[in-house]
Chain A
């Protein structure tokens, strides 16, 4: 069990501030580092991995600084974003290289185990140059966890994966988190973060914009009311019932079969709508957030 702690960390390149006074404490479990491209996520991860010295502030794992201390890498597994690997090696050779460099006691067994974890045993003896994007991603993950590090850092780990591979990888990270490891991954895609991260740290333009669990973050990120289009078996009655809810600000019948709803608190609304529908025997035919990116948040909450 290891804690990764950032204290007043800033990093600038010349006049450009990439990371601005960020403090966070990352504990065992999965933390999603969420932010748009260019927000400073990679710079933050580089500093967490000790590759880049912070201009000010400190980054420590269990109290030890990550910078200027190569022994810290026994505790860190890093999955970088770039695809460039030693692609003249086979998958096995590449993972074994990482095991050897980490001086793992039984590098052969550890290599085999790590490759099995990411489900790459069948392709392990092929050269990495023949791998697809998703396979490269998985072999990178195997190489990062071959020494069973307490801290695993992943930069955009789901890039290039198909939905099945993505689900498999998410399951793997979840298992790892349950073993008490501290897992940090960056992403600019909300859906990825909300599916597995218990804790979310939002970075926007180098600043630590928000921190908390996903629902809290989601609420913070939507300071304006959310609009939805609803179609049901009885729109007029549904509108009347919804207006009785705290979370609903307005409901309007746009045409005969479309109801527009404006809600303040999407969490409460997501729970209220199915409850009302089932209590009053109204069948919901369609529920679409007008803001596209909210869609998955909704289906997630409704399903939960």
Chain B
């Protein structure tokens, strides 16, 4: 791990206007939780709470934050070649990627996982482990999205569009039409985690919790390995 790269990553992510897109996600999530709680006079059903955490939390906030963080710290530096300034330093490739991953995952924890915990607490207090379910579901989905987006970033030319298509077409549209999509869907994995952990949900979760955890780790490792390979053959005149 490299302190200057961590600092650079923080500046890159928080020093520009795009930070507000990430800040907006937890603000909207918590605001929605407060509004729903008020509207139901403080008595929100577990199903309503789960729907907010699943549909907005896992469905929108997590992918948006992961997309902004991954595209900022990984895709755009690969695409425009500015990563060359990190590669030509006495710093190992592993610590370059690890430093970036820490900032990216850190953004996910701060902007989605913790707000999911807060939203869960607002909606259901400590009942039926809803808040914990939100936290863990968001963590799983964040890690998986970072892995998938990183993998897409390193294998596609127009990687940001690729990530958006993955989110909007694959996850949001196809997943509801073809059930097997769930095996390759961070959203389904995060949702499954929520439904497994919360004691109040009777729905049959899309995949087992063990599959969700394993698939998430595979996605992250895949992303890192592909990014590592791309780093290993970077030339000084990419485009």
Contact = CB atoms under 8 A, between A and B. Distances in A.
B234 A51 contact: yes
Interface string A86-116: 1011000100011011110000000000000
A143 interface: yes
B91 interface: yes
Given A88-B16, A97-B4, A101-B2, A70 B90 contact: yes
**Chain A facing B: main interface SS:** mixed
A52 B238 CA distance: 12
Contact of A84 (B5, B81, B233): B81
B237 A101 contact: no
Interface string B71-94: 000000000111011111111110
A43 to B, nearest CB: 7
Contacts of B80: 82, 84
Nearest to A78: B88
Contact of A51 (B11, B16, B235): B235
Nearest to A69: B90
B11 A85 contact: no
Given A51-B84, A80-B84, A70 B91 contact: yes
Contacts of A97: 4, 7-8, 85
Contact of A103 (B5, B90, B234, B235): B90
A216 B174 CA distance: 66
Interface string B1-17: 01111011001100110
B19 to A, nearest CB: 11
B237 A80 contact: yes
A255 interface: no
B58 to A, nearest CB: 30
Contacts of B237: 42, 46, 80-82, 155
A80 B239 CA distance: 12
A80 B81 contact: yes
A74 B7 CA distance: 21
Contacts of A45: 236
Interface string A42-63: 1101100111110000000000
Contacts of B12: 86, 88
Contacts of A86: 8, 11-12, 82, 85
A85 B236 contact: no
- Which residue, B80, B89, B238, has most C-beta atoms of chain A within 10 A? B89
B11 A88 contact: yes
B15 A73 contact: no
A49 B16 CA distance: 31
A73 B232 CA distance: 15
Interface string B214-239: 00000000000000000011111111
Interface string A101-144: 11100000000000000000000000000000000000000010
A71 interface: yes
8 contacts: A46-B236, A52-B234, A81-B237, A82-B237, A82-B238, A89-B8, A97-B8, A155-B237
Interface of A: 42-43, 45-46, 49-53, 70-74, 76, 78, 80-82, 84-86, 88-89, 93, 97-98, 100-103, 143, 155
User: 4 closest pairs, A vs B, by CB?
Assistant: A84-B80, A42-B237, A100-B4, A101-B89
Given A45-B236, A70-B91, 17 more contacts: A42-B236, A43-B235, A46-B236, A51-B84, A51-B236, A74-B90, A80-B84, A81-B236, A82-B238, A82-B239, A85-B82, A89-B11, A93-B11, A97-B7, A101-B91, A155-B236, A155-B237
